[in-house]
Structure 1
Amino acid sequence: MLLFQALLLPWLLCHWADSADSHTFTMFYLAHFPNSSFVEFIGNATLDGKLTHSMEGGNEQLNVSQRHPLEPSHVWEQRVSNLSQYLQKFQQTVQVLTLERKVPYPLQVQCTKECLLFNTGATNSSSRVVLNGIGFLRFQTDSASWIPLQDTPLASFASSWLNKYNETTISIKHFLQETCIGFLREHTDVKGSLTGKQKGRSHTSLVLGITLGALALMGLTVCIFICTGGKR
Structure 2
Amino acid sequence: MSPTGSITLRLLQISTFQNSSFMGTEGLCFLEDIELGSLDKHNWNIHIYQPWVHAALPPGDWKVKEEMLKIYLQKVTYVINEGATENGVPYPFVVQCRAGCEIYPNRTSRAFFYFAYNGQGILSLDLDNGTWIPSQDTNISWYFLGVLRNYTSLSELAEVLFNETCVDDMELLLRHGQAALERQELPVATVFARTPSPAQLLLVCRVTGFYPRPISVAWLRDGQEVPPGPALSTSSILPNADLTYQLRSILAVSPRDGHSYACRVRHRSLGTRSLLVPWGHSEVVLIAGLGAGLLAAVAMAVIVVLWVQRCRKPQQMEES
With the length of structure 1 as denominator, give the TM-score of the two structures. 0.60
Please tell me whether residue 132 in structure 1 is matched to residue 118 in structure 2. yes
Cα distance in structure 1, aligned partners of 2:21 and 2:111: 35
Change (3 A) 1:56 1:126: same
**AA at the equivalent of 1:133:** G
Match 2:96 to one of 95, 98, 110 = 110
Identity of matched residues, %: 24
Task: Identify, as 1 or 2, the structure richer in helix.
Answer: 1
Cα distance in structure 2, aligned partners of 1:75 and 1:193: 23
- Tell me which structure has the larger Cα radius of gyration: 2
Cα distance in structure 2, aligned partners of 1:169 and 1:88: 13
**AA at the equivalent of 1:169:** S
Match 1:185 to one of 145, 155, 171 = 171
Report SS of the residue matched to 2:168: helix
Change (3 A) 1:71 1:106: same
**Number of equivalent positions:** 177
Cα distance in structure 1, aligned partners of 2:71 and 2:41: 13
Change (3 A) 1:193 1:172: farther
Name the stretch that deviates more: 47-56 or 79-88: 79-88
**AA at the equivalent of 1:155:** S
Q: Is the 8 A contact 1:111 1:128 kept in 2?
A: yes
**AA at the equivalent of 2:110:** N
**AA at the equivalent of 1:178:** E
- Higher relative contact order (Cα pairs below 8 Å, separated by 6+ residues): 1
Change (3 A) 1:119 1:73: same
Cα distance in structure 2, aligned partners of 1:41 and 1:135: 18
Report SS of the residue matched to 1:34: strand
Q: Is the 8 A contact 1:139 1:147 kept in 2?
A: yes
Please tell me whether residue 54 in structure 1 is matched to residue 20 in structure 2. no
Please tell me whether residue 175 in structure 1 is matched to residue 169 in structure 2. no
- Residue by residue over 1:159-196, the C-alpha shift from the partner in whole angstroms, topping out at 9 and shown as x without a partner, is 3553454423344334333221112222215x95569x
With the length of structure 2 as denominator, give the TM-score of the two structures. 0.45
1:90-109 aligned within 5 A? 103-109=89-95
Please tell me whether residue 65 in structure 1 is matched to residue 47 in structure 2. yes
Change (3 A) 1:85 1:55: same
Cα distance in structure 2, aligned partners of 1:108 and 1:171: 22
In structure 2, the residue matched to 1:205 is none
Q: Is the 8 A contact 1:139 1:145 kept in 2?
A: yes
Change (3 A) 1:176 1:97: closer
Moved over 6 A (4+): 92-97
Q: Is the 8 A contact 1:128 1:138 kept in 2?
A: yes
Change (3 A) 1:193 1:112: farther
Mark the runs of 5 or more structure 2 residues left unpaired by the alignment.
182-320
In structure 2, the residue matched to 1:44 is 28
Report SS of the residue matched to 2:171: helix
Cα distance in structure 2, aligned partners of 1:173 and 1:76: 18
Change (3 A) 1:192 1:74: closer
TM-fit CA distance, 1:62:
3.7
Task: Identify, as 1 or 2, the structure richer in strand.
Answer: 2
TM-fit CA distance, 1:111:
0.6
Q: Is the 8 A contact 2:40 2:47 kept in 1?
A: no
TM-fit CA distance, 1:99:
5.9
TM-fit CA distance, 1:24:
1.1
Match 2:12 to one of 28, 34, 41 = 28
TM-fit CA distance, 1:63:
4.2
Change (3 A) 1:127 1:181: same
Cα distance in structure 2, aligned partners of 1:141 and 1:88: 20
TM-fit CA distance, 1:112:
0.6
Q: Is the 8 A contact 1:128 1:139 kept in 2?
A: yes
Change (3 A) 1:164 1:194: farther
Change (3 A) 1:92 1:26: closer
Name the stretch that deviates more: 84-93 or 141-150: 84-93
RMSD: 3.6
Cα distance in structure 2, aligned partners of 1:39 and 1:178: 29
Cα distance in structure 1, aligned partners of 2:73 and 2:155: 20
**AA at the equivalent of 1:109:** V
**AA at the equivalent of 1:135:** G
**AA at the equivalent of 1:65:** H
Mark the runs of 5 or more structure 1 residues left unpaired by the alignment.
1-16, 196-232
